[in-house]
Amino acid sequence: EPEVTQTPSHQVTQMGQEVILRCVPISNHLYFYWYRQILGQKVEFLVSFYNNEISEKSEIFDDQFSVERPDGSNFTLKIRSTKLEDSAMYFCASSEDLGNQPQHFGDGTRLSIL
């Protein structure tokens, strides 16, 4: 069964450094998402992406965050200057369509900011 893949599985970064999290969505999916989950808390929406542009973003997704689809397969999340509070599990998801189509999640990247 096709799946969303994310790399790396774990990233340790010094505060203030830039980090790029990578995702390969399911190949026939058109909608892409990033979520994060701070340890012990709920899954929170960051951003959705369709047709090479952001379709919605949350308050968390400030100027320090950006997303890109640099080629036909990858979907990246960049955090420019990481803060301690960015430490979380970051999940990429994709869906074939909106609404009734489920979002399929990757295994996540655990980001630890020191």
Partner 1 sequence: GQNIDQPTEMTATEGAIVQINCTYQTSGFNGLFWYQQHAGEAPTFLSYNVLDGLEEKGRFSSFLSRSKGYSYLLLKELQMKDSASYLCAVPTAAGNKLTFGGGTRVLVKP
User: Which residues bind to partner 1, rule: CB under 8 A?
Assistant: 31, 33, 35, 41-45, 48, 50, 55-56, 58, 89, 91, 97-100, 102-108
Closest CB to partner 1 among 14 and 28? Answer: 28
Task: Give me the residue label for tokens 């899954």.
Answer: 43
C-alpha span between 96 and 94 (Å, rounded): 7
- Phi, psi of 90, deg, nearest 5: -110, 125
3 state SS for 38-55 = CCCCCCEEEEEEECCEEE
Q: Retrieve residue 76's tokens.
A: 């990246």
Q: Retrieve residue 74's tokens.
A: 């990858």
* Minimum gap (Å) between residue 22 Cβ and partner 1: 15
* Minimum gap (Å) between residue 1 Cβ and partner 1: 11
* Minimum gap (Å) between residue 87 Cβ and partner 1: 15
Closest CB to partner 1 among 17 and 61? Answer: 61
Closest CB to partner 1 among 75 and 91? Answer: 91
